[in-house]
Chain A
């Protein structure tokens, strides 16, 4: 109680009151209880089950190891000349396999024998990562989310993804890729309620060498919510875009 009074006083003193709601509890559907987790995945396998969120990272370049993205001339030109209004997600097209992780929305991971399912709140979509030992398909189709396979090693899950359509963007800032993109992800459990996620993008068409970003995922207290992008996308007629509506 005393702490609450101190907090209220701090809000008043710092002018914080005007910036936050007068009530503290979250609104509709934002505090629904977590769904039950499946049984732990077993000895020697890190448990990633649960609802998680990473920091919203609209511009991966700001978090790139080494401080910048090693563009090829074509990759650099594509980035410098892109129109923000061409963002496929602005038209509610899919995020691709990894952009959803660093969107402003949480996600649920469900581990089962031979497969991990990621339920992304953004766009109400899912992604599957096969851990049953299979490889990528031969004569692979190019798809929005590509094909993901995973392997456990200690407290880490390594994921390998290929076959990602060049129609997806890596982030909101407009970093793009070709369908030669090879994504590797390393999920490392750092505690019961946190894991680090290191993603590496390798694409000889767009980048001169692989580059990586590391973000920390934190366990969430509440369930994911419904987010249907096409529900009321009023923005589309107003984009400055090269795409025809």
Chain B
């Protein structure tokens, strides 16, 4: 039996490496452009090669911005216990990640927090920046 601490360390490592494999982080995202917002989930695509979810974010001027957020691969997420029901349209969430280099409202999500504080498939390229 592995020690509990070792098991936890293993899980933490796993949590930080929900891998993409499909493309490198640098192919699309800018590690110098961290982005963070709160908003409402409008849609979840639990599909390969990446889970995508969409968030409506109201900016300080009252304008709603529709963010497309990339998460990990659904197979890898499923193997870690996540399901498509883990994040639903209507959920109020906070998202941290990195913006796409092309300047669109597209981001690679590194951390997703529900309004009750629960984390949802924190996931991204494991060759990207660690935060």
Residue of B nearest to A84 (CB): B27
Contact with B along A214-245 (1 / 0, CB 8 A): 00000000100111110111110111110000
Contact B12 A27, beta carbon cutoff 8 Å: no
Determine whether the beta carbon of B78 is less than 8 Å from that of A27: yes
CA A225 – CA B74 in complex, angstroms?
10
Closest chain-B Cβ to A168's Cβ sits at a distance in Å of 14
Q: Quick check: B79 and A239 within 8 Å, CB to CB? A: no
Kindly state whether residue A114 has any CB partner on chain B within 8 Å.
no
B127 A59 Cβ-Cβ under 8 A: yes
* Residues of chain A with a CB closer than 8 A to B79's CB: 26-27, 30, 222
Do the beta carbons of A225 and B19 come within 8 Å of each other? no
B33 in the interface (beta carbon within 8 A): no
* Given A21-B82, A231-B49, A238-B106, also A56-B8 (CB < 8 A): no
Contact flag A240-B27 (CB < 8 Å), given A10-B4, A227-B48: yes
Interface residues of B in 27-48 (CB under 8 A from A): 27-28, 45, 47-48
Structural contact, B21 and A172, CB atoms closer than 8 A: yes
Interface of A is mostly: loop
How far apart are B24's CB and chain A's nearest CB, in angstroms? Answer: 4
**A227 contacts B75, CB within 8 Å?**
yes
Hey, which chain B residues are within 8 Å of A11, CB to CB?
Answer: 4, 8
User: Is A58 within 8 A of B118, CB to CB?
Assistant: no
What separation, in Å, do the CA atoms of A1 and B94 have in the docked complex? Answer: 35
Chain A contacts with B in 61-90, Cβ cutoff 8 A: 83-87, 89-90
Residues of B within 8 Å of A83, CB to CB, are: 27
The answer on a CB contact under 8 Å between A232 and B15 is: no
A84→B122 CA distance, assembly (Å): 23
A10 to B6 CA separation, bound complex (whole angstroms): 9
Scoring B22, B25, B28, B86 by chain A CB atoms within 10 A of each residue's CB, the highest score goes to: B22
A125 to chain B, nearest CB (A): 13
Q: Which 3 A/B pairs are nearest by Cβ-Cβ distance?
A: A10-B4, A104-B19, A84-B27
14 A–B pairs (Cβ distance < 8 Å), ordered by A: A3-B1, A19-B11, A19-B16, A21-B81, A84-B24, A85-B28, A87-B27, A104-B73, A105-B73, A121-B75, A235-B49, A235-B70, A238-B101, A239-B28
Interface residues of A (CB under 8 A from B): 3, 6-7, 9-11, 14, 16, 18-30, 56, 58-59, 83-87, 89-90, 92, 103-105, 121-122, 172-174, 222, 225-229, 231-235, 237-241
Q: A27-B81, A174-B24, A222-B79 are in contact. List 6 more A-B contacts (CB 8 A).
A: A28-B84, A29-B78, A104-B73, A104-B76, A235-B70, A239-B23
